[in-house]
């Protein structure tokens, strides 16, 4: 039934994970399909390779912002 809703009306994506300030992972509320934003800003199917890339980007992004916040407190 849920897949029928998506095939008739399209997916209803909500943010499931914020990777960086401009890259997110999304999941369909009805069928659970997972997508992410690609280099062009379009939605692409979330493959294991893209999930690994997103995890690496998230790690680098958090590390960069944690170091930047720490340096501002010291100064």
Q: What is the pLDDT along the chain (75 residues), one digit of tens a residue?
A: 777 889 899 999 999 999 998 899 999 999 999 999 988 889 999 999 999 999 999 999 999 888 655 555 554
Residue 70 pLDDT: 56
Q: What is the pLDDT of residue 56?
A: 96
Which one, of 48, 1, 2, lies nearest residue 25 by Cα?
Answer: 48
Residue 6 near residue 33 (C-beta atoms within 8 A): yes
pTM of the model: 0.80
Q: What is the pLDDT of residue 73?
A: 57
SS3 75: coil
pLDDT of residue 26: 97
Pairing of strands 34-37, 43-45: antiparallel
Residues 54, 36: contact at Cβ < 8 Å?
yes
């Amino acid at each position: 039934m849920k897949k029928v809703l998506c095939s008739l009306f399209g997916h209803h994506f909500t943010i499931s994970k914020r990777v960086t300030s401009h890259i997110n992972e999304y999941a369909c509320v009805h069928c659970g399909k997972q997508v992410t934003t690609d280099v062009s800003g379009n939605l692409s199917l979330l493959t294991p390779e893209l999930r690994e890339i997103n995890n690496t980007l998230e790690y680098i992004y958090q590390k960069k912002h944690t170091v930047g916040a720490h340096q501002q407190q010291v100064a």
